[in-house]
Structure 1
Amino acid sequence: MPTRLAAVPALALATSLAVAGCGADEPPASSAPPDGPAASASDDHGEVAGAVEVDEPPLGLTTIDRAGVVRHLDLLDETATDLADLGRARAVHTDGRFVFAQTPRGVEVVDSGVWTWDHVDHFHYYRAEPRQVGRVVGRGPVTVATTSSSTSGGSGLFFGSGEAVMLDTGALADGEVVERYRLDVAPHDGMLVPVGDAALLTEPGPTGRAARVVVLDAEGRPTGEEHPCRHAASTVTTRVGAVVGCADGALLATVEDDVLQVRRIDLPPRADAPAPTSFAGRDGRPTVAGLADAGRVWLLDTREESWRLLDAPVPLAQVTAVDDDDEHVVGLTTDGRVAVIDGGSGDLLATTGPLAGRSLRDGVGVPTLVVDQQRAYLSAPAERRLHEIDFADDARVARTFRTPTPPLLLAGTGR
């Protein structure tokens, strides 16, 4: 049964976007011109049997504690619901609806029951019954790569043992785990990235690290096309396409007129900062952020196909791009504060007080920072807190939720 988490203080809920009908003339502020992956999506508006369309984004925070209990906090009515009991989990990934949790047995898939469907010039919002969907068996650390759709296409899983699995995302929406294909490749720290009906699969070089990506067709067969990508180490989906990070830049994969296009975005000449090993940004936006090191931030604009390097005004442990009109960049400092940075100038705009300092010092879980159009959310496992920060209002802490157990892993859902 849902329970209500205590908010400290119980301040007003974050303002929500109103849903726009299919005849709307003005897109929401978070949408973009119809030049991204959503433009080629089907016209079913993301509907799923048994789901109910709602009038506002059903935003939530889904957490996993030390015992493996998956708990969903509804940010609209502040109720918390236990969704599943997975046992010990090591890492988590989400596409905004499904939660992919790595466990010793493989990857457990949980449907949070909330999602947003991007119709290019407006959005549709849905709620359904949350449920534990099933398990994908695999060995070793796993990288999960998803698309902008949680009702169609594929979700790629790559286990350190060399098992590459493409899941049917539409089947996940129907409550089933269906493998489109499973491949055995040389073990390495790799990834399988869905792009339309195709996919990018990393292959290792002589050193054992990922050195290139090969293109696979819808059945998982190599097409013969490959692209160098030395030390491929990260992937993210933006409004424009799928990104694979390389030691000297990134690959951007898009589908244009049903044809897969892969383009290289090189780091600027004479850049003295290493490429980021991970990317983060607001769902549905073209720009993502990644750390070069604690003192420098890379911004990758996939629409302009360009990089920008900022000197961080404070030492950072994590960073993410809001990509709004004010170019806000939000980071977690090395002493547990949330910092708001001007993505144009690199200036420090505001910081919170220490929110996750004990978590960073004691190593009780890793604090996780996620953003949406209006708020940033930070988990503080050791402090047993979830914080909501209004980054546009001098980093004001709008709400703080106490959790019954440490929220070791966090995923932003309903987005």
Structure 2
Amino acid sequence: MTTLSRYGGAALTVVAATFAAACGGTTEADTTAADTPETTTSAAASEVATAQPRLALTYDGGVLVVEEEELTVVDDFALDGFNRLSPAGDGRHVLISTEGGFRVLDTGSWTEAHGDHGHHYTGAPTLTDLTFAAEKPGHVVPHAGVTALFDDGTGRIDVFDPADLASATDLPDLDSRALPEAHHGVAVPMPDGGMLVTLGDSEDRTGVALLDENGTEITRTEQCPGVHGETVAADGVVAFGCEDGMVIFRDGTFTKAPVPDPYGRIGNQAGSEDSPVVLGDYKTDPDAELERPERVALVDTRTASVRLVDLGTSYTFRSLGRGPAGEALVLGTDGNLHVIDPDSGEIVRRIEVLEPWTEPDEWQAPRPALEVRGDTAFVTDPATDSLYAVDVTSGEIRSAELPHTPNEISGVA
């Protein structure tokens, strides 16, 4: 375990401003807000006895909204381009990274807390006209009650309260910050109003900095070459993937978790608030155009140690998830859902879900994808245009055919 220096390099200068997106003409973001409120709210929402959560799935030319329990298609929205999905953070909306920014999809199903219970509502899904403007929309990170949007094209970070999306007639107020250099990065809001942001430019990414609520740098690490992706583990720990391991942020301090290989890239991560161990992919060939790894990394954030687990099969960046008790889940190209004990690294169970498949050469091309919601692991199968729901505990599987070939899948959070 290596504890990193509190200070290093030139301090990051960040320009911060609070924008009222509801006020006409105040920001670039609000220029894309809807002018027709009737198209931006779920019509005729009704209270129902139990929660009826929904999923969003992209296909070439649109987005499907699917009911989780019955696996029925609730609605189908046409939308051109290669679209990506992220939970907005309010348990209702999904943000679609598309041309012009992050467009708001209302899944039309949500729960409102009321003391010791909740009230559940459903209505018609809506692909709203609300778009958070971005030149090149990147990572979306809900954390500490707010959601951060990263624009890779400009280095701008927009932070908003996802609860404000419920009004749906205008975009929420934005707290926006501009990093010195645009890059493919990520920002994680902190409970005290501060923020963790990646360091980099168009050529290179080197580490992570902690900013206070005013955008002033407090500390940084530049020991995370090629920094990519983030996740949150137990006790509020935040982890970032590097080309030589992982950087862990705990209690104001950065710590490096090294790997045994000179190049050991952990570029995609899956964390769980029920586990101090982070699941990550693991690649060792810096020159490969397409590496098909067969090992995954389990990073213990308490000790900054890395355990490598050999699956005996390859997987992709859409194969990682966490189970209801923090189990590490990996969807292999052998068609199995591999269930791993995160503490011991033992593969405790393999659930056969799909026929064996091969990762496509292009990363944008459809391939089986994993999305875990509570006790259920949802798996897409582009080969058969199917969606599977796997009970992680019992292994029971439900399935349904889809009207289009699925690509990305997301729930709400």
* TM-score > 0.5, shorter chain as reference: yes
Structure 2: gaps (5+ residues): 1-43, 284-292
**Separation (CA, whole Å) in 2 of partners of 1:304 and 1:117:** 38
Cα deviations by residue, 1:14-72 (Å, 9 ceiling, x for unpaired): xxxxxxxxxxxxxxxxxxxxxxxxxxxxxxxxxxxx9888765533321122112x322
**Separation (CA, whole Å) in 1 of partners of 2:276 and 2:113:** 14
Distance 1:251 1:263, change over 3 A: farther
Report whether the alignment pairs 1:277 with 2:276.
no
Report whether the alignment pairs 1:384 with 2:385.
yes
What SS does the aligned partner of 2:143 have?
A: coil
What is the aligned partner in structure 2 of residue 316 from structure 1?
315
Distance 1:347 1:76, change over 3 A: closer
> Would you say how many aligned residue pairs link Structure 1 and Structure 2?
349
- More displaced 10-residue stretch of structure 1: 97-106 or 274-283: 274-283
What is the aligned partner in structure 1 of residue 178 from structure 2?
183
**Separation (CA, whole Å) in 2 of partners of 1:324 and 1:265:** 27
Match 1:139 to one of 135, 138, 148: 135
Structure 1: gaps (5+ residues): 1-49, 255-260
Distance 1:123 1:380, change over 3 A: farther
| Cα offset, 1:81, TM superposition | 1.6
Cα deviations by residue, 1:110-142 (Å, 9 ceiling, x for unpaired): 2324457899xx885743544445112222351
- Specify the code of the residue in structure 1 equivalent to 2:307: R
Normalised TM-score (structure 1): 0.70
Give yes or no for contact 1:312–1:346 (8 Å, CA) kept in 2. no
Distance 1:239 1:160, change over 3 A: farther
Give yes or no for contact 1:358–1:383 (8 Å, CA) kept in 2. no
**Separation (CA, whole Å) in 2 of partners of 1:308 and 1:118:** 39
Give yes or no for contact 2:85–2:410 (8 Å, CA) kept in 1. yes
| Cα offset, 1:289, TM superposition | 1.2
What is the aligned partner in structure 1 of residue 53 from structure 2?
59
**Separation (CA, whole Å) in 2 of partners of 1:137 and 1:336:** 39
- Specify the code of the residue in structure 1 equivalent to 2:266: P
Distance 1:285 1:123, change over 3 A: farther
Match 1:105 to one of 72, 90, 100: 100
Aligned identity (percent) is 23
| Cα offset, 1:170, TM superposition | 3.1
- Specify the code of the residue in structure 2 equivalent to 1:311: D
**Separation (CA, whole Å) in 1 of partners of 2:386 and 2:356:** 9
Cα deviations by residue, 1:165-216 (Å, 9 ceiling, x for unpaired): 22332322332323221425312211222122221222216x8322233333
- Specify the code of the residue in structure 2 equivalent to 1:112: T
What's the C-alpha RMSD, in Å, of the aligned pairs?
A: 3.7
Distance 1:234 1:269, change over 3 A: closer
- Specify the code of the residue in structure 2 equivalent to 1:365: P
User: How is 1:273-352 mapped onto 2 (pairs within 5 angstroms)?
Assistant: 274-281=264-271, 286-293=276-283, 294-302=293-301, 306-318=305-317, 319-322=319-322, 328-343=327-342, 344-347=344-347, 349-352=349-352
Cα deviations by residue, 1:215-255 (Å, 9 ceiling, x for unpaired): 33445x2244333333211112345333322334444456x
Report whether the alignment pairs 1:230 with 2:225.
yes
| Cα offset, 1:299, TM superposition | 1.8
- Specify the code of the residue in structure 2 equivalent to 1:222: T
Give yes or no for contact 2:331–2:338 (8 Å, CA) kept in 1. yes
**Separation (CA, whole Å) in 1 of partners of 2:113 and 2:247:** 24
Normalised TM-score (structure 2): 0.71
**Separation (CA, whole Å) in 2 of partners of 1:54 and 1:155:** 31
What SS does the aligned partner of 1:240 have?
A: helix
Distance 1:292 1:82, change over 3 A: same
Distance 1:77 1:370, change over 3 A: closer
